[in-house]
Structures are given as C-alpha cells and as structure tokens.
Amino acid sequence: MKKSVLAFAALSLVSGLAAAQSSVTVYGIMDLAVRNLKGADSMTQLVNEGRSASRLGFRGVEDIGGGLKAGFNIEHGVVPDTGEAGSPFWGRRATVSLMGSFGEIRLGRHKLSDRTIVDDFDPFGTSGMASIDRIYSSLSGGYVNRSDNQIAYYLPAMGSFYGSFDTSLGEGTDANKANTFRLGYKDKALHLSAAYGQHGSGNKLKTGTLGAAYDFGTFALSGMYTKSERGALDQDIINLGATVKMGQGKLILSFAKADGNATGTGAIAGKQINDAKLLALGYDYAMSKRTTLYTTVAKVDNNGATTFSLGGTKGVAAPRAATATSNAGDSTGYEVGIRHSF
C-alpha cells in the first residue's frame, strides 16, 4: 500500500513538472466596424479589420532543457460579419520554432521582415480603411505580406537591438521566392528600424523601408519612407503620423504621399497611375484593457489615372471592394467600430 502511494506521488510530481515546462495559449481578436465609403460608387458595410484583423490563434512553448525551447504558433483569420473562416485556414501563421541563447529559428508561413516594419510605423498598423497599404502599388506584380515555405532567423535579445532574416523557398514557383531582412533599435522612447527585401525572380519586386518614431509621453511622432522597384517601375511613399493621448482615449493622425514613375497606356497614355495622397484621422477609446471603441475618417486623393481606394487596392486594376474610384477620383470614408481581444 505504501509503495502504491509513493509511486502515485512520484508520478504526480513528474506530471506536474512536465506541465510546468510547457504551456499552450489560446488568443484572438474580434474587430467589426460599420463603414461608409464613397468613390465612383458608394456603399455602407459591416466590415472586419477596422483596427486589427480578426483572428483566432494557438501558441505554445516547451522547455526541452539545455537552455533550449521549442514552440509553435498557428493562427487563422476570422470574418465575423459572415461567420466565415479566413482562407487558407491557417493562412495568417503556421510555424514551429527552436529558441535558445542563439536566438530563434522559425519555419513555416508568416509575415516577411520587410513587411513587419510597415506594420510597426504606420500609425494605423496597416489595418482598416486608413491603412497605408491603400496606396501601395504592387508595380504590376504580386503584393507581398506573408510567404509560404519560409525559413527565418531572429537575433537573440541584445538590449535594445533586434533583427530578423528570412528566405522563402519557391518550390518550383519563382514568384513565391523571397529574401528579406530587418534591423532595428527600440527603447522606451526611441524606435529606429530599416528593412529590405527582394521578391520573386527575374523581374523582382525590391522594397526598402526606413522608419523612426519617438514617444514623448503624452504624444508620439512617427515617420516612414518606402521605396519599391520592379524593373523600370518604381514608387516612393512617405508617411508621417502622430498619436496624442487623451485620458482613456487617443487621437491618431496619418498623412502619406505616394509618387510613382509608371504611366498608363491607351486612353490614359502619359498619365500617372501610382500617385496619391492619403489623409486619416482616428480616435480610440479604451473601455478596458481588452475592449476599444474607435472611429476613423479618411480620404484618398488620386492623381493622373490612379484609382486607389479606401475600399482596398493592391495595384491599379485590383480593387478589393466595389468602391473603387474613377481615374484621378477621390475615395472618402468613415467608420465606427469595436475591437475586443482575448
């Protein structure tokens, strides 16, 4: 009897230690907004991603000893206005990692290093109708955010310095190839970062971005410059932003200007097709640590034959919503929404 009790106690102790060495977290965001857009046409919508893309994720870390940890992270998009799941199901992230004093080696699908810098320095976090990516052009090719078959390395903690490098294997599809990196410095107030990437093969899309931000306490300022090139085509984007704390709320301001050298053909011959300005103003009110009410007003002012829209565009001929603009037309909108994280 005593032996049985001792064996049970030892087994319980081992199980407890094993549980203490590993953990799994369920997390997510639900974000919905009522949005009104006007361009060549108009529409009122209930939309996902006013401040953050809605998502559901699972992540875990296991201490495997010797100063090493293994981890995983799977995350898929949720479309709460219709109840659908994002496609592909784990399209936001699906990775496994090995971590230690050397840093982190991460394998799978996730964001590219030259995209994360844009997320960090856009005052609206590249979410919602005020996202700076509304005036980014793919320069007659694919728009790059995440990549499949990615091998990435993240530098170990080095005070305020950080960095990452990644390569994406095409696996027979040259357009899926990518090589990007990012280096930065971030302390309590100052944040500086630079990133560069090459996407595809042959006629590659090349992107370089510089970002800087400073938090003065009651308000913060940020600036970002991105240059994209594909063959003879290029586009330069400058973004300036500010956030002002107001009790439980904050005011967000953003101005961005895009200049490209591409011109149209046929009926729009000689007219610029990648030039625009984006102006946005937002207000967030924190009801709690996890729940925020927000509102945004924004406007895209197109030049030449450009047709960027607040409804979303990844190039001149690829609107993501029915509210595309006519040549050189404006796109305006406002929204009111709620964001809840868990």
DSSP 59-102: EEEEEEETTEEEEEEEEEEEETTTTEEPSSTT-SEEEEEEEETT
pLDDT of residue 140: 67
- Give the C-alpha separation, 338 to 288, whole Å: 12
CATH number at residue 125: 2.40.160.10
How far is 282 from 69, CA to CA, in rounded Å? Answer: 40
For range 187-215, the mean pLDDT:
95
pLDDT confidence tier of residue 36, bands split at 50, 70 and 90: very high
Asked if the structure places residue 15 within a domain, the reply is no
Number of domains in the chain: 1
Q: How confident is the model at residue 312 (pLDDT cuts 50, 70, 90)?
A: low
Between 21 and 168, the more confident residue is 168
In this structure, is residue 1 part of a structural domain? no
Mean local confidence (pLDDT), 138-155: 86
Q: Which residue type is seen at 132?
A: I
Q: Is the pLDDT of residue 8 over 80?
A: no
296 touches 285 (CB < 8 A): no
For the cut 70, the answer to whether the pLDDT of residue 329 exceeds it is yes
Please indicate, yes or no, if residue 3 is contained in any of the structural domains. Answer: no
Span 72-86, pLDDT tens digits:
999 999 999 888 887
CA-nearest of 300, 295, 293 to 256 is 300
- Band (pLDDT 50/70/90 cuts) for residue 249 is very high
Q: Which domain holds residue 271?
A: 24-341
Q: Would you say residue 316 has pLDDT above 70? A: no
Question: Domain for residue 11, yes or no?
Answer: no
End-to-end CA distance of the chain: 46
Say what the pLDDT of residue 5 is.
43
316 occurs within a structural domain: yes
* Cα–Cα distance, 224 to 117 (Å, whole number): 9
Report d(CA 182, CA 64) in Å as an integer: 29
Average pLDDT over the chain reads 88
Phi and psi at residue 157, to the nearest 5°: -60, 125
pLDDT score of 203: 86
Q: Could you read off the pLDDT of 280-294 as tens digits, one per residue?
A: 999 999 999 999 999
What φ, ψ does residue 271 adopt, rounded to 5°? -95, 140
Question: Using alpha carbons only, what angle is made at residue 290 by residues 182 and 320, rounded to the nearest 5 degrees?
Answer: 60
H/E segment holding residue 117: helix 113-121
Task: Report pLDDT for 21.
Answer: 62
CB 306 within 8 A of CB 134: no
- pTM, 2 dp: 0.87
**Tens-digit pLDDT profile for residues 252-283:** 999 999 999 988 777 677 788 889 999 999 99
Confidence of residue 115 (pLDDT cuts 50, 70, 90): very high
Domain assignment of residue 137, yes or no: yes
Q: What is the pLDDT of residue 323?
A: 52
Confidence of residue 93 (pLDDT cuts 50, 70, 90): very high
Report yes or no on 33 lying in a domain: yes
What the block records as the tokens of 300 is 């895209």
